[in-house]
Amino acid sequence: MCKGPPTTEESTLRIKVLPRSSVNGIMGFEGNVLRVKVTAAPVDGSANQNLIQLLSKSLKVGKDSIRIMSGQKSRLKVVRICGIKKDEVSRRLTSTFQP
């Protein structure tokens, strides 16, 4: 898990979560914000757990490498990803975009 200030082997993403969607999927960037759909309702952290699981699978990193830094109870979140550079995060996410 990430500890301390960000390093070059870490990146942060601004994410807009769309809960209660029909599918889990990464929709793409809208400006500098990544749009992500999750099927879970925003109740008791279920949508956050879905988000972390989806990002973990898409980025091929462990769930413990992803941390929600802000926006625990908001649709707009800042997420920190450990062990992977920002350009690699962008490359991996781009290959998973859904229309």
Residue with tokens 């990544």: 34
* Host H or E run for residue 30: strand 25-30
Residue with tokens 């309702």: 41
pLDDT tens sequence across 20-57: 999 999 999 999 999 999 999 999 999 999 999 999 99
Radius of gyration of the chain (CA): 12
User: Which pLDDT belongs to residue 24?
Assistant: 94
Distance between alpha carbon 36 and the CA centroid of its chain, in Å? Answer: 8
Residue 2 pLDDT > 80, yes or no?
Answer: no
CB–CB of 83/65 below 8 Å? yes
The CA–CA distances, whole Å, from 16 to 1, 9, 26, 63, 83 equal: 22, 23, 10, 19, 22
Written as six digits, the tokens of 8 are: 């070059």
The CATH number of 10-94 is: 3.30.1200.10
Residue 68 pLDDT > 90, yes or no?
Answer: yes
Written as six digits, the tokens of 9 are: 């082997």
User: Which pLDDT belongs to residue 94?
Assistant: 86
User: Which pLDDT belongs to residue 98?
Assistant: 72
Averaged pLDDT for residues 59-63: 94
Residue 1 pLDDT > 60, yes or no?
Answer: no
Share of the chain above pLDDT 70, in %: 91
